[in-house]
Structure 1
Amino acid sequence: MIITAFLIYNVINLIYASIIIKKYYEVFIMDALWKNTTDLPDYESLKSNINVDIAIIGGGLAGILTAYKLKEKGLNAVIFEADKICSGTTGYTTGKISLAHGLIYNYLIDNFSLEQAVEYADCNKKAINEYEELINKENIDCEFEKCSSYLYSALYDYNLKEEFKAAKKCNLECEYLEESELPKGIKGAIKYKNQGKFNPLKFVKHIIKDLKIYDHTFIKEFDEQNKLLTTDKGYKVKADKIVFACHYPFVNSPGYYFLRMHQERSYFLICENKKKLKNIYLNVDEKGYSFRSYDKYLLFGGEKHRTGGNKEGYKYNLLREKLKTFDKNYNEVGHYSTQDCMSIDKVPYIGLFSDSLKDIYVLTGFNKWGMTSSMFGSDIIADMISNGLDNKNSIFCPSRFDTKGVAKSAIKEGPYSIKGLSKEFLNIPNTELDKLLLGHGGVVKYNGKKVGVYKDEDGKCYIVSTKCPHLGCELSWNPDEKSWDCPCHGSRFDYMGNIINDPSVENLEFIEKKQ
């Protein structure tokens, strides 16, 4: 009897322990929803010099769709990805296929023209339709669903009403609501019909089947005159045409994209969802909360900030507190963050990289709307390459500089670079190394020099340079992600100094590891 009771007791403990371990493991692995639901194939890295017709730098959705569209036109393109395909923004997107890009259409009419605002709307509308047609034609199992997209405000509705009027001028199918299934306390909402949502990596897994891809092939140098790319291992890629689809172009001149973009970070919780939401939602107030359902999960995100601007941390905790106002009993199973390129005038750059470069193309500055931008952007690039077309009169043409929005944004953007550079050269920290708390990082004074230090829970110090290798701005410590982030152009590095995000192509100088 005693032995039986003892066995039962131990079995119960084992079951309880297995539940705890399973729960911990689930939380641990759910760092990105799509990556945990889809296994993409591994590709070999480039190990020799090669010649290609078309080289595509970047294995995210934009690069993959461009290669796919070119193949449809009978052209051969090769994708070169620095890490593993879709390991960047594509793997961390919300998977919304929508033209409801915040308060965009009223802005476009005011700063461009009604004609160009309609072009923007039509391209995104076409992208949504093209996803549906391609998915049906190829019978792609990626959980694609048609739905409505809601933009809502909890603070005021004047801007939303103006946006609604602008959307109607652009011939978009939408309606204005003051009551809906949205959370209580909203002031107003715009409902856009016939939008979509899907699992982007399941979609990618199908369309990459016949594409030539090299993983772990970091393109580090670009010889514009000879159309020659060089990897970090020294291998050469000679191409007739080159497409930069690598998130943020690492080439500074020509093009000068570092003067025309910055990067933003957003944070997401993955929660088990008691109530499945049919539609997709975006709050247009400052924090920019976003949510959608997928299977048994809810993706809830926001707390956006310019890269390098998260000195205080606690972004995930702020999200958790906000989510409690919607659901007090939510069950979090993971969290992650993502990074997006933001163009100076809120419109992507799609077309020739620069007027001075022939046969060099770019897709970047998607402003957090990479699903539709990648689809219609790949169409534009594929048409330009196959038919020799130009898009100089398009709103997406990278050489545009004559809108009111550019002038306003340039005034706003300039001080970030000036401040970042001046801090690197002029600011001397007062904090000493021994004053840094365990588990914290920061810019400190060490041996009379300014350095960046992360002190782990065991007291080990990882000391790096605070100077961004891209253009020399001073880096800022991100406590939520234990990374060094550049507030000027968005390069990011782990606490050991290794590159996480471009445009830098060099690691930080690692000074020493100190106990």
Structure 2
Amino acid sequence: MNQSYWQKTSKKKIGKKIETDIATDIVIIGGGLSGVALAYQLKDSPYQVIVVDKDELGSHTSGHTTAKVTTLHSTLYRDITKHYDIHQAYLYYKSNQQAFDEIENIIQKENIACDYQKNNSFIYTDDPNYVKDIQEQTDIFHSLRIETIHDENHLASLGLKNQAIFHPLKYLYKLVDICQKSGVSFYEHSEVTHIERKDDSFIIDINEHHIQCHYLVHATRYPFIRKGLYFFKLFQEKEYIDYIIEQNGKDSYLCVDQTKSYRPLINDDSLQITRDSKDWFAQDSTPIRGIPYIGRLSKYSNEFIIYGFQKWGMTLSQVAARLISDLILDKENPYEDLYACHYFSMSFAKKYTNKVWKNTKKGMIMNRFQNDPLITLENQDGMVTKVNGKLTAVYKDKKGELHFLTPYCPHLKCVVDFCKKDQTWTCPCHQSVYDAYGHLMEGPSLYSLKKTQDKS
């Protein structure tokens, strides 16, 4: 379910899982690109490093992205300038340009065959309502002396030369191989269920075993821990992607009004995003302050977080890897304050207030009053309704058999919705995703929806 083009066109090794107690120096929770890239940065350090993932390495956002390596992050520079200042926008650009260069150097140094190729990257619109957004960002880039290009085929556009595309899983799996040769250990199917601070160490519960470490890094895209209430400071969204056996040029295009986005593949095929896309979905987390959270959980803590890449995880994963490794190794990093976790922007948050409130209201309040007749449910569809007076999530499979589940997301007890398009249950509040039968696919929830026996 939800298998991407990248997963279909790469071959991974079967990983081991935690089966004993372990004492180590650094634990990285999350085997996506940010966690693996961080392990690569630390592989030659004096510290022993392990990476754990509750599923398989690269099986979530890193394996479902469109995989553009770029510093052109939609109109984010305009928003950062508006809600912070031009200096913050400049630092954001410089940090991502450094990360871009580092990714390219790693690929060349390690001779990684990951379909890496340069191209131009554009944002564009054909809607007059969005022209101003692109023009304002163009003006910001010019003030920062960033060279831009344009595509005359669209009403408004902004492009950068010498951006790139690659195969994210081929890149990730090769980094894993390199790290393993340097002594880094990777564990799959090893879900963290509890974290306790003990003196100057952390005790982590995984698969009924205890892992002790001095440094702890959360690289999970979205928090499953409740420290700092970060699940209130971010929100998640699905993005659907199609694989198309045709190509329309070698450049990448992102439509800022969400009409159509495109990026080529290495053969005569491409990935496209439209309102009707459905081949697979990616789950992205957006920080409502606008800038990702990358740094110490608290000022002097040895616990670190990496959250909120808002669709730009290929480049920002390397930003995070460099920054967190520098913090652990006591090296100066010029972008520490930009990504530090201690500040917030109420003005930026207003951009997302209506969307967050609408989702929360739906999950906490509106969905609790659903009571459509069960007889109206079609095959391969689901609904939340009353069954014998109890609110129940009901799925009807292609054979017409009914499956009954508790409708309450285990994370914070919001009531789920069914998405017929991808046959999943989704929590509106914080976007945990479950398959049609209630099995957990994406967090922050740690548990699946429970089956109920009341079918009378």
Normalised by the length of structure 1, the TM-score is 0.82
**Residue 166 of structure 1 aligns with which residue?**
140
Which residues of 2 match residues 92-241 of structure 1 at below 5 A? 92-156=64-128, 157-179=131-153, 186-209=154-177, 210=180, 211-225=184-198, 227-231=202-206, 233-241=207-215
2:259 maps to 1:316: no
Q: Match of 1:460, as an amino acid?
A: E
Alpha-carbon offset, residue 245 of structure 1: 0.5
Q: Does 1:459 align with 2:400?
A: yes
Alignment of 1:242-257 (within 5 A): 242-253=216-227, 255-257=228-230
Q: Does 1:266 align with 2:239?
A: yes
Worse-superposed segment, 222-231 or 366-375 = 222-231
TM-score between the two structures when normalised by the length of structure 2: 0.92
Partner of residue 381 from structure 1, selected from 319, 324, 340: 324
Query: Bigger shift: 413-422 or 360-369?
Result: 413-422
- Pick from 443, 446, 450 the counterpart of residue 505 of structure 1: 446
CA 1:402–1:393 in structure 2 vs 1: closer, same or farther (change >3 Å)? Answer: farther
User: How far apart, in 2, do the equivalents of 1:83 and 1:137 lie?
Assistant: 29
Counterpart residue type for residue 195 of structure 1: Q
Identity %: 28
Amino acid aligned to 2:139: K
Q: Is the 8 A contact 2:30 2:53 kept in 1?
A: yes
CA contact (8 A) 2:295 2:336 kept: no
The answer as to 2:308 corresponding to 1:365 is: yes
Structure 2 segments unaligned to the other structure (5+ residues) = none
Within a 5 Å distance, the mapping from 1:279-358 to structure 2 comes to 279-287=251-259, 289-303=261-275, 315-316=276-277, 335-355=279-299, 358=301
**Contact 2:33 2:58 (8 Å CA) reproduced:** yes
User: Matched residue of 1:229: which SS?
Assistant: strand
Alignment deviations for residues 134-153 of structure 1 (CA, whole Å, 9 cap, x no partner): 11111111111111101110
**Bigger radius of gyration, 1 or 2?**
1
Cα separation, 2, equivalents of 1:454 and 1:121: 46
Matches of 1:349 and 1:141, distance apart in 2: 31
Displacement of 1:393 in angstroms is 6.0
Q: Is the 8 A contact 1:460 1:514 kept in 2?
A: no
Q: How many Å separate the matches in 1 of 2:260 and 2:23? A: 45
The two structures, once aligned, show a CA RMSD in angstroms of 2.2
Deviations 1:69-110 (A, max 9, x none): 011334321000111100101111111001111111111111
1:26-80 Cα shifts (integer Å, max 9, x gaps): xxx9931111111111111101111111000010000000011011334321000
Q: Secondary structure at the match of 2:337?
A: coil
Task: Could you tell me which runs of 5 or more consecutive residues in structure 1 were left unpaired when the two chains were aligned.
Answer: 1-28, 180-185, 304-314, 318-334
The alpha-carbon deviation at position 411 of structure 1 amounts to: 6.2
Asked whether the equivalents of residues 462 and 513 of structure 1 are also in contact (C-alpha less than 8 Å), the reply is no
Q: Secondary structure at the match of 1:249?
A: coil
| Alignment match, 2:415 | 474
Instruction: Rate the CA distance shift 1:398–1:392 in 2: closer, same or farther, 3 A.
Output: farther
Is the 8 Å Cα contact of residues 71 and 96 (structure 2) preserved in structure 1? Answer: yes
| Kept in 2: contact 1:245–1:362 (CA 8 A) | yes
Is 2:402 aligned against 1:430?
A: no
Is the Cα contact below 8 Å between 1:106 and 1:167 reproduced in 2? Answer: no
Contact 2:69–2:165 (CA<8 Å) still a contact in 1? Answer: yes
- For the 8 Å contact 2:27–2:52, the answer to whether it is kept is yes
Give 1:88's match in structure 2, choosing from 60, 68, 71.
Answer: 60
Shift >4 Å, 4+ stretches = 388-393
